[in-house]
Amino acid sequence: MKRSEFLTASTLGTLGLGTGSLPLNSLSPRSDAQDQGRKILIAGGGFGTTFIKYMASLTGQRRPRLCYLPTASADRESGIVRWYENCAPLEVEPHVQESFINSYQMKETFEDVLLSMDGIVVSGGNTLNQQAIWKVQGIDEVLQKAWDRGVVLGGASAGSLCWFDEGTTDSRPIQLTKVQCLGFIKGSHSPHYDAEGERRPAYQRMIQSGEMKPGYACDNDAGIYFIDNEVERVVHTRADAKVYYVSVVGDQVVEEELPADMIT
């Protein structure tokens, strides 16, 4: 049995995917499934069961097909197992698309797989490596097609940063630096705003200097639901987790806190 088949079979067998779960329309404090447009749901860190549940409601499907894309974590097995664990209480059909593959492993193209999904969750990890691999494999173009077709995209950390023009990354040695990403969402992004001490000063410094565009900073457990390039809703799973719009007014950096709704 292949590694991915073993992980799927053993995890689902242990956890009983979908057993005793609630219908999707009871999972979110409000239903956004009818919103039209291209959809992205991000979190600064911690895209666990609650965020997956909310993404599922955004698809408008009773049992949506959700795919985990762990390129940034080099297809790490522990992350794949955690994905199935996080999906187990939900009425969803979980899938995984690895990027470190060979021709004999895959019977379908990346496009065949990803465009058949209702939602795609991107893992955390090394954003710089993720972007390089996506470009050389053409996954970046497939994700653009998925977004345009209404597949709900999302993730946390590298899985939130990847959708913006640019942002702060720890993907290079020594210090946080700027990384260019897919540009689906205009402006910049900083994840882990409250969890890593250097994130806030580095982000503010780059925006103030003009090195980086203004944009959105998310604490762990807080995130944003975008339709096209507009903020549709700000959410969190922890009361003190916050989201900010960071810009320059005059010569001063300004953080505007965006009011958030609790999701459970």
Residue 4 lies in a domain: no
Condensed to tens digits (0 to 9), the pLDDT of residues 88-138 reads 999 999 999 999 988 888 889 999 999 999 999 999 999 999 999 999 999
Element (H, E) at 114: helix 110-114
Residue 16 lies in a domain: no
- Name every residue whose Cβ is closer than 8 Å to that of residue 153 and which is 6 or more positions away in sequence: 39, 40, 41, 119, 120, 122, 143, 146, 147, 163, 184
Q: Active-site residue 192, yes or no?
A: yes
Residue 8 lies in a domain: no
Output the pLDDT for position 103.
Answer: 84
Residue 167 lies in a domain: yes
Output the pLDDT for position 55.
Answer: 98
How does residue 3 score in pLDDT terms, banded at 50, 70 and 90?
Answer: very low
The catalytic residue among 95, 189, 192, 236 is 192
Q: Active-site residue 236, yes or no?
A: no
Residue 20 lies in a domain: no
Q: How far apart are CA 167 and CA 175, in angstroms?
A: 13
Task: Please identify which residue in the block is written with the tokens 């408008």.
Answer: 60
- At 192, phi and psi to the nearest 5? 55, 40
Output the pLDDT for position 218.
Answer: 98
- What's the mean pLDDT when you consider all of the chain? 87
The catalytic residue among 57, 157, 160, 190 is 157
Residue 14 lies in a domain: no
The tally of domains found in the chain comes to 1
DSSP 126-172: -HHHHHHHHHHHTHHHHHHHHHHTT-EEEEETHHHHTTEEEEEE--S
Is residue 113 within 8 Å of 97, Cβ to Cβ?
yes
CB atoms within 10 A of CB 102: 6
Output the pLDDT for position 35.
Answer: 57
CATH number of the domain that residue 245 is part of: 3.40.50.880
Q: Which domain holds residue 123?
A: 38-262
Residue 33 lies in a domain: no
Tell me the mean pLDDT in the region 207-223: 96
Tell me the mean pLDDT in the region 192-219: 93
Residue 25 lies in a domain: no
Beta bridge partners of 119: 66, 152
Tell me the mean pLDDT in the region 43-68: 97
Question: pTM value?
Answer: 0.85
Output the pLDDT for position 132.
Answer: 96
Element (H, E) at 189: strand 185-190
Q: How far apart are CA 98 and CA 105, in angstroms?
A: 10
How does residue 172 score in pLDDT terms, banded at 50, 70 and 90?
Answer: confident
